[in-house]
Amino acid sequence: MATMIETGTEELLAERDGNVLTLSLNRPERLNAISGPMLRNLSRLLVDANRDPEVRVVILTGKGRGFCSGLDLVDSGPGARQSAEKPVQQLFDLHDSAPTVLWNMDKPVICALNGAAAGYGMDLALLCDMRIAGENAKMAAVTARRNLLPESGGTWLLPRLVGWAKASEMFFRGQTLNAEQCKEAGLVNEVVPNEALMDVAMEWAQEIALNAPMAVQATKRMMRIGLNETYETTVDHLMVHLRTLFAMDDFKEGVSAFLERRTPEFTGR
């Protein structure tokens, strides 16, 4: 049975269904433009999910007809009200920002792309491990049209996902790709009817959640770290994780289930 979780703001919803946590951006009237409270709470919930052994998969989506239109430029742009207090001087630090937290998560994250993702929203979508798009989904690489750049890792992520030339085309021309174009470019795994989006995302999440959670998380960590390692270093690190997995009860359960021709029941221990 699904359970709603207190998030600290109505602009972000959290619902737990078994081992799957669904986080929904909830500012449909603003196409889910990200506000400060939304960012802080999203980061906190992602950190909590990554630490919670009962959560094995996270789904990130948006309410209404947009996934996320980016940072709230009305609240943070040139016309925004400025505080009378002098800002505290501190070093630039993004370690607890939502994009950085997403990148460092070991738990798998599925983006259920229900509508347009632009700017910061596009970066959030790209930081998820998999993207399932509804037919109305779009990715808008339009930062150059606002005298901005993809500040949350888009310039690092997009070339690795689609290649330098395609990323250059999207960013420099300020392109918006529809769902089918996103799939053709390799930006989304699947395109499904809008009304089936959350059902398919949950189906994928539950399929992942049935596998040994520590094996899934270790695999994701090795994939992430491997982007900046040599082959030899990666293999060495893999053996360290493998020794831990061999010693777990879930390894014994996996082998027993295989020999007995039954579905394994993994506990994460």
Query: pLDDT tens digits for 224-233?
Result: 999 999 999 9
Strand 12-17 with 3-5, pairing: antiparallel
The three-state (H, E, C) secondary structure of the chain, written as one string: CCEEECCCCCCEEEEEECCEEEEEECCHHHCCCECHHHHHHHHHHHHHHHHCCCCCEEEEEECCCEEECCECHHHHCCCCCCCCCCCCCCCCCCCCCHHHHHHHCCCCEEEEECCEEECHHHHHHHHCCEEEEECCCEEECCHHHHCCCCCCCHHHHHHHHHCHHHHHHHHHHCCEEEHHHHHHHCCCCEEECHHHHHHHHHHHHHHHHCCCHHHHHHHHHHHHHHCCCCHHHHHHHHHHHHHHHHCCHHHHHHHHHHHHCCCCCCCCC
pLDDT tens column, 136-181: 999 999 999 989 988 888 999 999 999 999 999 999 999 999 999 9
Domain 213-260 = CATH 1.10.3470: no
CA dist., res. 21 & res. 14, Å (int): 7
106: which 2 tokens? 């070991």
CA-closest candidate to residue 112, choices 140, 128, 131, 139 = 131
- CATH number given to 3-209: 3.90.226.10
**pLDDT above 70 (res 119):** yes
pLDDT tens column, 85-107: 555 666 666 778 899 999 999 99
Residue pair 174/145 in contact (Cβ under 8 Å)? The answer is yes
pLDDT tens column, 20-59: 999 999 999 999 999 989 999 999 999 999 999 999 999 9
**Exposed e or buried b per residue across 163-176, where buried means at least 16 C-beta atoms within 10 angstroms of its C-beta:** eeebbeebbeeeeb
**Which whole number is the average pLDDT over 114-125?**
96
CA dist., res. 178 & res. 91, Å (int): 39
CA dist., res. 268 & res. 55, Å (int): 11
Task: State the average pLDDT for the chain.
Answer: 92
State the pTM of this model.
Answer: 0.92
pLDDT tens column, 175-209: 999 999 999 999 999 999 999 999 999 999 999 99
> CATH 1.10.12 spans which residues of the chain?
213-260
- pLDDT tier for residue 83 given thresholds of 50, 70 and 90: very low
> CATH 3.90.226.10 spans which residues of the chain?
3-209
Specify the residue for token string 């049935």: 210
